[in-house]
Amino acid sequence: MVNQTIRLNPSIDVLPVGGRTMSRPCLFLTNDDGIEAPGLHALIRGLHQSGFPIVVMAPADEQSASGMRLSLRHDLKFVERTDLATDLGSSDGPPLRMFSLDGTPCDCAIVAIDGGLAHWAPEMKPALCVSGVNQGPNLSVDVMHSGTVSAAREAGLYGMPAIATSLSTYKHSDFESSVEATIEVVEAAIRILPQEATNLLRPNGSRTQPKGEDERELIIDSFRNGDLMLNINAPETWTNGFRTVSLGSRWYHNAIDMSNTENHGVAYKVGAARIEDEDIPDTDCNAVNDGAVAITPLSCWPVNHPLGISQRLLTAATTPTTNGLPFWLEE
């Protein structure tokens, strides 16, 4: 393992990858459960066996519910995890490079995209960011707090197309179905993306606007530019295909536990005792509760930002095909 501390001008030798070729687009993977997380490992195995070159930058430790928090004014320890790459990758497969960073999911996306990968793994030029597979739901308002979703959004802000993916249960940690569903969406996305991200680091700022003659072309260009992302939630048991849906309405009740009190103050624990999903058709909560994999297009930017996705275009992006995937991912 190569162990370094990240500063403004990192200096580390680039390790050779050998003679392995990259016939498929490279993927950048991250998460919020950490570099050792089973969901990330299952996704790496599945995508690598599908022939994708992969470069990973994930938090050294779990960073769940970290939102878009950044580690400002801190040196961040960097480690190349050749041990994990050897264990998870196919010996005769495409390149696989894995790095951990002592920071948040958004730190990982920023460090990787804003120069880190170009320095440590210049042969890896990702076309798409995939964040996950997260253990637990990222439905409805969860997307505001989720480190998994935030890492994908951060990649989008830097101009890289992005997907967040989660297994929406804590009752088991069998990621087989969620990985299968994620790979199917990734395969569909890769078909409409160039070999490398073309808007990386946003060289023209907000002047790069989506172009197209119809809604499908505008949506695809928004996804390619990193302005529109996808949020996937796989159910506890996958029995009902895919559904492209809007965010639902989820309420957390009795979120504060004050049972652990002391004489000199009150100890608070945040964690809902009861979660209520409103019964709203064509939403992510309903889809997952019905055994379907929910796919929700999200704007990476606030809607009143110059690059924010309009409600009209976001509604159009949420239109499904007969197989449940977004219509614009259909060839």
Q: Are residues 255 and 240 in the same domain?
A: no
Tell me the pTM. 0.90
On whether residue 14 sits in a domain, the answer given is: no
- Whether residue 299 has pLDDT greater than 70: yes
Domain count, the chain: 2
pLDDT, tens digit, 9 for 90 and up, residues 113-172: 999 999 999 999 999 999 999 999 999 999 999 999 999 999 999 999 999 999 999 999
pLDDT, tens digit, 9 for 90 and up, residues 213-247: 999 999 999 999 999 999 999 999 999 999 999 99
- Whether residue 306 has pLDDT greater than 60: yes
pLDDT band at 66 (very low <50, low <70, confident <90, very high): confident
On whether residue 4 sits in a domain, the answer given is: no
- Of the candidates 277, 293, 317, which is a domain's last residue? 277
What pLDDT sits at residue 232? Answer: 99
- Whether residue 50 has pLDDT greater than 70: yes
Q: Does residue 166 sit in helix, strand or coil? A: strand
Q: Are residues 229 and 257 in the same domain?
A: no
In 3-state terms the chain splits into helix, strand, coil percentages (rounded to 5) of 30, 25, 45
**Quick one: average pLDDT of 301-311?**
96
Closest residue by Cα to residue 316 from 261, 235, 246, 236: 246
What pLDDT sits at residue 17? Answer: 45
On whether residue 1 sits in a domain, the answer given is: no
Residue 269's domain comprises: 250-277
Where is pLDDT greater, at 72 or 114?
Answer: 114
Q: Name the CA radius of gyration of the chain, rounded.
A: 19
On whether residue 5 sits in a domain, the answer given is: no
What pLDDT sits at residue 64? Answer: 85
Q: Are residues 258 and 272 in the same domain?
A: yes
What count of Cα atoms within 13 Å lies in the side-chain half-sphere of residue 277? 19
- Of the candidates 262, 277, 292, which is a domain's last residue? 277
- Residue written as tokens 């996937």? 232
Q: Are residues 292 and 177 in the same domain?
A: yes
On whether residue 15 sits in a domain, the answer given is: no
**Quick one: average pLDDT of 284-301?**
98
Single-letter amino acid code for the residue at 200: L
Q: What is the CATH number of the domain that holds 322?
A: 3.40.1210.10
Q: Are residues 131 and 167 in the same domain?
A: yes
Q: Are residues 208 and 236 in the same domain?
A: yes
Nearest 5°: phi and psi at 258? Answer: -110, 20
Q: Are residues 118 and 254 in the same domain?
A: no
Q: Are residues 37 and 150 in the same domain?
A: yes
Q: Are residues 192 and 265 in the same domain?
A: no
Type and span of the H or E element at 163: strand 162-167
Q: DSSP labels for 219-288? A: HHHHHHHTSEEEEEEE-SS--S-EEE-B---EEEES-EE--SEETTEE--EE--SEEEE---TTBHHHHH
- Whether residue 184 has pLDDT greater than 90: yes
pLDDT, tens digit, 9 for 90 and up, residues 110-121: 999 999 999 999
Q: Are residues 142 and 124 in the same domain?
A: yes
**Quick one: average pLDDT of 235-264?**
82
On whether residue 8 sits in a domain, the answer given is: no
- Residue written as tokens 């087989």? 176
Q: Are residues 269 and 132 in the same domain?
A: no
Q: Are residues 163 and 258 in the same domain?
A: no
Contact 290, 283 (CB under 8 A): no
